[in-house]
Structure 1
Amino acid sequence: MFEHTLDDYAHSNGIKNVNEYFKVLFAILTMLVSLISTSPVIPITIFVLVTFLIIFKAKIPAKFYLKFITVPFSFAFITFVFMAIFFGTGAAILNLGIFNLAVTADGFNLGFLTMARIMGGFSCLTFLALTTPMNEIFSILEDIKIPQIVVEIAMLMYRYIFVFLDEAINMYHSQETRLGYSGLKKTYKSMGMLASNLFIRTWLRGEQIYITMESRCYGGSIKTFKSRKDIGTKNILLLLSFESFLLLGTYLTWGLKII
């Protein structure tokens, strides 16, 4: 079970005090550059640079980061294999020898580009999730005039996700201290009990939280804390320089293919 969540690292990373608008702009602009590139060079470059920032600048543990990106990158690799075999036309560069399946140059290039874009784009979203607390993101959504009801529903959903996780972790540790996972049979039984009771306990916990909110004058509107961290001229220049470098690279590698 994970003891540390995205929210924990978002509040305790090495760049938590950097202006939230700067981090959001960095993530969105960099992700857009990754998506518009017609060559895998720039998306892969973005992935490497953003990974460096996450691990060495934001001080996110490499083990946690690698675990976090394992599932989406596995799907990206499956997408690459599928597109390499079933997409594209032209002469085959690799015959698989079964069902007349073959890898074509067009399919390989398209699949590799798609995988690279996924890697680049997801690393940008991961950077934002691991370095920016959700309350700051909700504050930005309010500033750009997203309907209040939408923001509040998102805030409550986000809160109850962690209520769910907290209950799951507490129940798991309670079972673990009673040797509930000491054998295969006990493990299956304990997991079944955890799954069957988790929803009920989370529901009751949610009701208690709502009653607590009402006792503190909750009137249907949730106010977000708005911190005013200075974005700084240096950060603006760094952002413009970095994005210009990526755009120049996109132009120079436009249409470049692996095969």
Structure 2
Amino acid sequence: MFESTLDNYAHSNGLRDMNTFFKVIFAISTMLVSLISTSPVVPLLITFFMSALIIFQAKIPWKFYLKFLAIPFIFGFITFIFMSLFFGIGAHILDLGVFNLAVTEDGFNLGLLLFSRVMGGFTCMAFLALTIPMTELFSELERFRIPQIVTELAMLMYRYIFLFLDEGINMYHAQETRLGYSSYRKSFKSMGMLGSNLFIRTWIKGEQAHLAMESRCYDGSLRTLKAPESIRSIGIGKLALFVSFELILLICVYLTWNLRIV
């Protein structure tokens, strides 16, 4: 399933032996720079750079990465369209001629900025998810003094997201083998049945998982695994590259502070 593929890449990527704390700091600081930028230029640069880092350095297959990137891209693009049409003021750059809808300069710039921030932030998160196993990532979050309850909830949410997906896929395949999607009418009926039963099935699976945890001496807290000490060294060269990269991004943010595409 998708969870297994994601975990496999997290454990066997080209950047697996790099210091985990360093990767977390790098991704979070780059994401913050993307968020403070008032121009789409820097977030888009971060998107391309992080994507190249994931594909060429971490050696994640590009087809898998594009599938991983597809959903946030679609949501970001839809947001860009709505912001362009329904928000902002200024001169019209495109009149659709339907219901007086038009794309304004301010709306276009605002929509493009939000889209670029979404993509820049998500590629930073994708870098974390595809290069760091989740158990090590959660253990590193404890070093930032994040409350234990937050990390435990995050771990459970991560687990149950894929439990939800697994149940949905299994139910879909079961319906498909019984010709549940052989026609449009049957497809709508099957999707309705899947949606109505999926919550109940995942609830039952969650209860079973909780009972399994209690049978293994679950005391209300989850333990996280620390990364091996052999991969803890960062190196002066990597630190210099990291500082230089962030400084370049900050300079670009300053130079493009008032830059507008249209």
Q: Normalising by structure 1, what TM-score? A: 0.83
Q: Supply the distance in 2 between the matched residues of 1:12 and 1:257 (Cα, whole angstroms).
A: 41
- C-alpha change, 1:147 and 1:175, in structure 2 (3 Å) is same
1:13 is matched with 13
Distance of 2:206 and 2:48 partners within structure 1:
41
- Matched residue, 1:150: 150
One-letter code aligned to 1:232: I
Q: CA deviation at 1:236?
A: 1.6
Q: How many residues of Structure 1 are paired with residues of Structure 2 in the alignment?
A: 258
Distance 1:92 1:196 in 2: 45
| 3-state DSSP of counterpart to 1:89 | coil
Q: Which runs of 5 or more residues in structure 1 are unaligned?
A: none
CA distance in 1, matches of 2:3, 2:186: 23
Is residue 232 of structure 2 the alignment partner of residue 249 of structure 1?
no
Three-state SS of the structure 1 residue aligned to 2:94 is strand
> Where does structure 2 lack aligned partners over 5 or more consecutive residues?
none
Tell me by how many angstroms 1:203 deviates.
4.2
Question: What is the aligned partner in structure 2 of residue 92 from structure 1?
Answer: 92
* Distance in 1 of aligned mates of 2:165 and 2:101: 44
Q: Measure the CA separation in 1 of the matches of 2:52 and 2:41.
A: 17
Structure-to-structure mapping, 1:221-232, within 5 angstroms: 221-227=221-227, 228=229, 229-232=231-234
In the alignment, which residue of structure 1 is the partner of 2:110? 110
The residue number in structure 2 matching 1:67 is 67
The answer to whether the 8 A contact 2:83-2:111 is kept is yes
User: Cα distance 1:9–1:189, how it changes in 2: closer, same or farther (>3 A)?
Assistant: farther
User: Alignment identity in percent?
Assistant: 63
**Quick one: which amino acid aligns to residue 230 of structure 1?**
R
- Segment of structure 1 superposing worse, 118-127 or 194-203: 194-203
Instruction: Indicate the SS of the match to 1:94.
Output: strand
Looking at structure 2, the residues matched to 122 and 83 of structure 1 have their Cα atoms a distance apart, in angstroms, of: 19
Q: Contact between 1:180 and 1:187, CA under 8 Å: does it hold in 2? A: no
- The Cα RMSD (Å) is 2.9
Please give the alpha-carbon distance, in whole angstroms, between the structure 1 residues aligned to 2:131 and 2:144.
20
> Does 2:69 match 1:82?
no
CA positional deviation for 1:214: 3.2
- 1:36-75 map, 5 Å: 36-75=36-75
Say yes or no: does 1:132 pair with 2:140: no
Q: Which residue of 2 aligns with 1:26?
A: 26
Measure the CA separation in 1 of the matches of 2:142 and 2:81: 41
